[in-house]
Chain A
Amino acid sequence: MAACSSAPSFEGVAIDPPRDMPAFTFVAPDSARVVLGPEAGRPMVLFFGYTNCPDVCPTTMADWTRVKTRLGPDAARVRFVFVTVDPDRDTPAVARRYARQFDSTFVGVSGDPATTAAIMQAYGVAAGREELGSAAGYLVSHSSQVFLVNAAGQLVALYPFGTRWEALASDLAQVLEQES
């Protein structure tokens, strides 16, 4: 993995140069607004999935709990965000409850169709329903990488599914150090 000498050296797949990402606003079940955009001192980790996903999504979220533990008190500055790609089934309340079952500080959001489509397009995330005769109803194929966005709202690295969680922990520590 090549990174330019002035850029941080990430264990994940570095996005070099960092890419400015648009901000997106979601509405929480209590009508509060959740803004996924630049926030001073607070980088963001994003994953796109669906709550009926029994394997890959909970594996990723469970990895985040390890990352959070590894970071210690600094983890309080990280925004861990689960974005559903299945808003028809995952209401804002379902998405929030899903994220919180892994850690009470994890954020789960579900957008309206336009917001969901826009954030997926911005991050290059794809998803598709698959009717495969499961008792679970339709299954959803989806991009499964984790995105690291710095406090300035720039996408700096991504982590394909299967990447060791320690890579994200190490890169987050680096980003937090730079932004402290």
Chain B
Amino acid sequence: MTTAKQRSLKQWSRVGLAMMLAACAGESRPGSADSAVASAAALADQPLVRDAWVRPADSGAMSAAYFVLHGGQDSLELVGAATPVARAAEVHESMQHDGMMHMQPRPAIALAPGDSLVFAPGGLHLMLIDLLRPLSEGDTVPLVLRTARGDSLQVAAPVRRP
């Protein structure tokens, strides 16, 4: 098993392509000559954020980040997020009932081992509150997702139109 620190993962994402530039120490798979295979195996075991993107928006306005969070082989609880481009970042969920769209903060979301959470328009999203600078297409936004275990999942999300 890996320690919590080892489980921490840095990952940079591009449109449609998640590139893991730094993986956990001790997670390499001896016997696998193909690094892509080794990476894929590591991805299955480790918490991973991929396909991240952020909406363009004005400075001072709101934006949202979307991604897929793979929980990995252990259970995981997402308990917070941060980004240097906004005053605050909160996990919210848009929910429609009785013809009304409601937005509900989700301060903690638990994932069972092997589960993934899809953040997508009209559902779960990471609300970026009070942007400290404008976000334009082509920019990259660093995001940090925090787990109850104390891990930080880092991702650099491109700004693009949906």
Contact = CB atoms under 8 A, between A and B. Distances in A.
Given A134-B92, A135-B90, A161-B122, A58 B55 contact: yes
B103 interface: yes
Contacts of A145: 99
A161 B96 CA distance: 9
Interface stretch (B18-26, B56-64, B71-79, B146-154): B56-64
A162 B92 CA distance: 18
A105 interface: no
B125 interface: yes
Residue from A56, A62, A132, A145 whose CB has the most chain B CB atoms within 10 Å? A56
A9 interface: no
B162 A59 contact: yes
B105 interface: yes
Interface string A117-145: 00000000010101011111001011111
Interface residues of A, number: 30
Contacts of A134: 90, 92, 105, 127, 129
19 contacts: A55-B122, A55-B127, A59-B122, A59-B162, A62-B55, A62-B162, A97-B58, A98-B61, A128-B100, A134-B90, A134-B92, A134-B127, A136-B90, A141-B101, A141-B103, A144-B101, A145-B99, A160-B99, A162-B96
Interface of B: 55-58, 61-64, 87-88, 90, 92, 94, 96, 99-105, 121-122, 125, 127-130, 161-162
Q: Which 3 A-B pairs have the closest CB atoms?
A: A135-B88, A144-B101, A54-B64
Given A53-B62, A54-B63, 6 more contacts: A51-B62, A59-B121, A62-B161, A134-B90, A142-B100, A145-B99
